[in-house]
Amino acid sequence: MANQFDALLRRLSLKVTPKRLAILEILAAEPIYLTPEEVWTRMKRKSTRAGLPTVYRNLEELSACGILIKIVHPDRRLYYYFCPNDHHHHHFVCISCRKVEDLNFCGLDSIDREVRKSLKGAVVSHLMQVYGRCKECLAG
Amino acid sequence: MANQFDALLRRLSLKVTPKRLAILEILAAEPIYLTPEEVWTRMKRKSTRAGLPTVYRNLEELSACGILIKIVHPDRRLYYYFCPNDHHHHHFVCISCRKVEDLNFCGLDSIDREVRKSLKGAVVSHLMQVYGRCKECLAG
DNA sequence: TCCTAATTGAAAATGATTTCTGATTATAGC
DNA sequence: GCTATAATCAGAAATCATTTTCAATTAGGA
Ligand SMILES: [Zn+2]
Ligand SMILES: [Zn+2]
Ligand SMILES: [Zn+2]
Ligand SMILES: [Zn+2]
């Protein structure tokens, strides 16, 4: 039996390469969002050394496919997170420890209605992110 | 009587300089979001030449004060927009012509409740932006 | 196995944004 | 108005995360 991400990649017509698997394994094991460079460092530790551009490329691809979530951060650097929840939802991200937690709330329905009726426009995508401090960070 | 932004700047203890006024005038006259470089170009046209770093610095300052809105864009470049509406609200931005329109909807109340009750965390800030095509761009 | 397109690595380029430093300027107080 | 002083500014240079290039390698289907 192969890696748990085998089928996932195949389904998306992405070749199952050691780099991709390593990237997914690393992110899936983290409850926090990581920068490409951090993923790259962890790959070295696992002796799945890869080029930094490869990491960037794969993270971008995988997030474009919806496997990974790109976290929008005020510092405008790239961050990625693996979220197993495949329903549409948004995230609460801890600005202190980088933990990501799912939010069930999404106001897209109301927004879409407003955009269509009042603005006569069409929604293409939307972004919602909540920044704050998680339970542990509040306690600490 | 001075420029309409005089009082606004004074109230925030920011010196009233020709550069700042020019930046505000330019953005207030635009129904779309602009990059720092575009603001800079328009300043040259108005013969209020400024250094690009000055434009960057002021845009950042003014958005930190809440006078300008920083538009979060998928391309991760900086964009600024002058929004006269001083109530908390969010924006619908046209990815085709860059027009910005106000949305009345904000789900922060529900989100805040969820974060406090379910996650035991605290919301610090939130980001919501809706991308799409405006009425005119749909027609064109 | 063989073929082909996809993937990768190393090095180099990119380019928006920021930093640095020494002028210049707005403004408060006299 | 004049002065002192901190804020602001210009220009050049630096930064540095991210992307591009291109030749070599590899995965997956025929
Ligand atoms: Zn935390
Ligand atoms: Zn999630
Ligand atoms: Zn438009
Ligand atoms: Zn809101």
Question: Is B108 in the same domain as B77?
Answer: no
What is the Cα–Cα distance from B112 to B124, expressed in whole angstroms?
10
pLDDT classification of B94: cutoffs 50, 70, 90 = very high
pLDDT classification of B86: cutoffs 50, 70, 90 = confident
**pLDDT at residue A121 tops 50:** yes
Query: pLDDT above 70 covers what percent of chain A?
Result: 99
- Contact residues on chain A for B127, CB-CB shorter than 8 A: 72, 127-131
Q: Among all ligands shown, which has an atom nearest to the Cα of A84?
A: 2
Question: Is B19 in the same domain as B75?
Answer: yes
Distance from residue A98's CA to the centre of ligand 4 (Å)? 21
Q: What's the pTM?
A: 0.92
Task: Give A34-93 pLDDT, tens digit per residue.
Answer: 999 999 999 999 999 999 999 999 999 999 999 999 999 999 999 999 999 988 999 999
The CATH number of residue A49's host domain is 1.10.10.10
**pLDDT at residue B1 tops 70:** no
Structure tokens at B44: 């040259």
Which contiguous run of DSSP H or E holds residue A111?
Answer: helix A108-114
- For residue A37, give the nucleotide whose C1' atom is nearest its CA: D17
Cβ-based contacts under 8 A for chains A and B: 117
What's the Å distance between residue A75 CA and nucleotide D9 C1'? 25
What is the Cα–Cα distance from B83 to B100, expressed in whole angstroms?
9
* Overall number of domains in chain A: 2
The CATH number of residue B134's host domain is 3.30.1490.190
Question: Is A59 in the same domain as A2?
Answer: yes
* pLDDT of A4: 86
Which contiguous run of DSSP H or E holds residue B112?
Answer: helix B108-114
Chain C bases near protein CB atoms (7 A cut-off):
6-12, 16-20, 25-28
Question: Is A12 in the same domain as A79?
Answer: yes
B95 touches strand D (CB under 7 A): no
* pLDDT of A111: 95
Q: How far is B134 from chain A (nearest CA, A)?
A: 4
Question: Is A75 in the same domain as A95?
Answer: no
Question: Is B75 in the same domain as B93?
Answer: no
Neighbours of A6 (CB within 10 A): 13
Question: Is A103 in the same domain as A133?
Answer: yes
**pLDDT at residue B131 tops 90:** yes
What's the Å distance between residue B30 CA and nucleotide C27 C1'? 31
Distance from residue B132's CA to the centre of ligand 3 (Å)? 8
A35 touches strand D (CB under 7 A): yes
Sign of the torsion angle spanned by Cα atoms A63, B76, B34, B66: positive
* Beta-carbon separation of A134 and B121 below 8 A: yes
Distance from residue B109's CA to the centre of ligand 1 (Å)? 21
B57 touches strand D (CB under 7 A): yes
Of A94, A93, A91, A95, the C-alpha closest to A103 is: A91
Query: In the predicted model, what is the mean pLDDT of residues B27-33?
Result: 97
Domain of A112, in residue numbers: 85-140
* Beta-carbon separation of B110 and A105 below 8 A: yes
